[in-house]
Amino acid sequence: MIGKTNEKKYAFIIGDIFKSEAKHIKENWVILLMCFFIARQNIIDEIFPFAIVVLCTYCQAKGSPLIILTVTILAVLSSGFNFTYIIMLIAVYAYFFSFRGEKKSILLVASYSAMVLLISKTTLLMADGFTGKSFMLNVYETTFVFSSIILINELMKMIAKIKKDGKVHIHRIKREENADESIVSIDNIDGLNKTIKPGAEAEAATSAAEEKTYSGNKNIKNISDYKKTKFLNIFTDQAKLKIKEQLLWQNIHIKFFEVLSSGKDSVVLSVTVKTEKSCEEAESAVELIVRNVCGVKLKCVDRVVSSPNYYVLKFKNIKRIKIRTYTATAVKDGSEVSGDSFAYAGRADRYYTVLCDGIGSGVEAYSESNGAVDLLSKFLYTDFSEEQILRTLNSILMIKLGDERFVTFDFNIIDYSSREVRVYKAGAAPTYIISSRNVDKISGKSLPLGILDNFEYSSFKKKIEIGDMIIMVSDGIIDSIGLDEKKSLDRYIELIINKDPQTIANSILSYAIRGQDTVMDDMTVLVTKIG
């Protein structure tokens, strides 16, 4: 009986894989055909870099179906048997298959593919007889593969952005024509593509539509009542049906959908889905659509992969806490701009603050620090963890800044649901966390970003409560206070902890400058108040 059960289980899995591959071929046969003809092209001496480029690009964009490995191998075989390239294609595909469902950095993908090619070809070269000409040819092929993967990825992003902008424009026109339909249209945009973020014109059109609808409905007494009526009650069958429909547009099939209440004003949602998308993509789609349909902000707290393409997801509502950041800055005398750059914003279930200091001062330091902050802000829209973001950022800055240039990095993440702050430091000045009980000073010993490839950062976690404050300062504040032996930032902060956040920021800046004829370095103070 056990043997028969296992046979049925394996037969089910194989059958499921076969159906998935057949469906993928049906939907993408034109692209696969193009990939075949591109992959079979070779350069001098039967070099097939296009096959590896096609395999990596396709897997990065559409996952890792077996058909693309088959197509690229057949392409190489059609131009002449080359055992080396077949092995390399299998090795590259194994990387994507092993980490399927995970978000992969294009730099990591390109580097891995290029290294597989270089190591394999160089090993064969040493076995057959090493020559300088053959080795340079291997280096050229490796460089070609690395750069082609990155360039094609950037080109695909550009095309996707153009398409996205076009969709937003079309729907904006529809909203202007029909106010009632416009509200439905914007929901549909969010449901179909989570990356679409309406600009100022789209927001203005939506507001106009709301006002028109509000004015035409006598049962609604004010605009706030209208905004409440935009959303459906998550417990109703109508809401469940709309959520299922919008998920179906994204090829996510709801197999089980149950809404539970675990307490006052709390929501627990259990969903079982079937999809070819990754588990992370399914989570994001459910969270986005539930927020658009019901106005409830959810976060996935538990997940189970029951079988291939089947996920059991559990969500809870996010209760956001009010967080604000207050600033005080001073520019070095003689400089046009500050070399310190900072940013703060809320992202779904978390709030972040970042303070970056470029080496020196002036325009060059500003360009370096501002570029690092801008890169971080873009990474926060991805599914990367904070650790992955910092390591990727370090690699990019090493290439961008070159030798003898670096930036210090101070990065805080506040999680709304866990009420926890995570502090990451790379050569940055100390951070102070003020609570009702005491003042915690957090210092890191790590090097700045952009110096070493084997990058190690300092990190710290702490529970926070309503009323707590987080103080971040740049090196200019610390260095200026350190010039006077009578001054101590630690003691001064303890004296002003009962002040409001803006007063604290201004006071620290004034304390650092006090007694000096000139401002000798760029200075920045960020005070973040929780609640």
Q: Going edge to edge, which strands form the sheet with 420-426?
A: 340-347, 350-358, 407-415, 420-426, 458-463
Q: What's the rounded Cα separation, in Å, for the pair 513 and 280? A: 48
Q: What is the pLDDT of residue 63?
A: 74
Q: In terms of Cα–Cα distance, which of 441, 470, 476 is closest to 326?
A: 470
H or E, element range at 488:
none
H-assigned helices in 434-474: none
Q: What is the pLDDT of residue 503?
A: 93
Q: With helix as H, strand as E and coil as C, how does 418-430 read?
A: CCEEEEEEECCCC
Residue with tokens 């001098």: 44
Q: What is the pLDDT of residue 184?
A: 33
CATH 3.30.30 in the chain, residues? 231-317
For residues 312 and 272, is the Cβ–Cβ distance under 8 A?
yes
Q: Is 473 left (phi over 0), alpha (psi -120 to 50) or beta?
A: beta
**Under 8 Å CB-to-CB from 292, ≥6 apart: which residues?**
187, 190, 191, 246
Q: Going edge to edge, which strands form the sheet with 310-317?
A: 253-260, 268-274, 310-317, 298-307
Q: What is the pLDDT of residue 304?
A: 85
Q: What is the pLDDT of residue 509?
A: 92
The residue type at 279: C
For residues 192 and 248, is the Cβ–Cβ distance under 8 A?
no
Q: What is the pLDDT of residue 47?
A: 73
Q: What is the pLDDT of residue 24?
A: 79
Q: In terms of Cα–Cα distance, which of 414, 395, 398 is closest to 406?
A: 398
Q: What is the pLDDT of residue 262?
A: 55
Average pLDDT per consecutive 10 residues, the chain (531 residues; last block may be shorter) = 44 67 82 84 71 83 81 81 77 76 73 81 73 77 83 80 54 37 34 37 40 44 50 81 87 85 69 86 86 81 81 79 90 86 81 86 82 82 78 80 76 85 88 88 81 77 90 90 88 90 93 87 92 81
Cα–Cα distance list, 399 to 303, 362, 403, 407 (Å) = 38, 21, 9, 13
CATH 3.60.40.10 in the chain, residues? 323-530
Q: What's the rounded Cα separation, in Å, for the pair 186 and 198? A: 9
Residue with tokens 């070269």: 125
The residue type at 244: K
List for the chain the helix, strand, coil content (%; round to 5): 55, 20, 30
Residue with tokens 């905004």: 227
Q: What is the pLDDT of residue 469?
A: 94
Which CATH entry fits the domain spanning 323-530: 3.40.50.300, 3.40.50.720, 3.30.365.10, 3.60.40.10?
3.60.40.10
Q: Which pair of tokens denotes residue 205? A: 């059109």
Q: What is the pLDDT of residue 505?
A: 93
Report pTM.
0.48
Q: Which pair of tokens denotes residue 170? A: 């079309």
Side-chain half-sphere of 362: how many Cα atoms within 13 Å? 4
In CATH, the architecture of 231-317 is 2-Layer Sandwich (3.30)
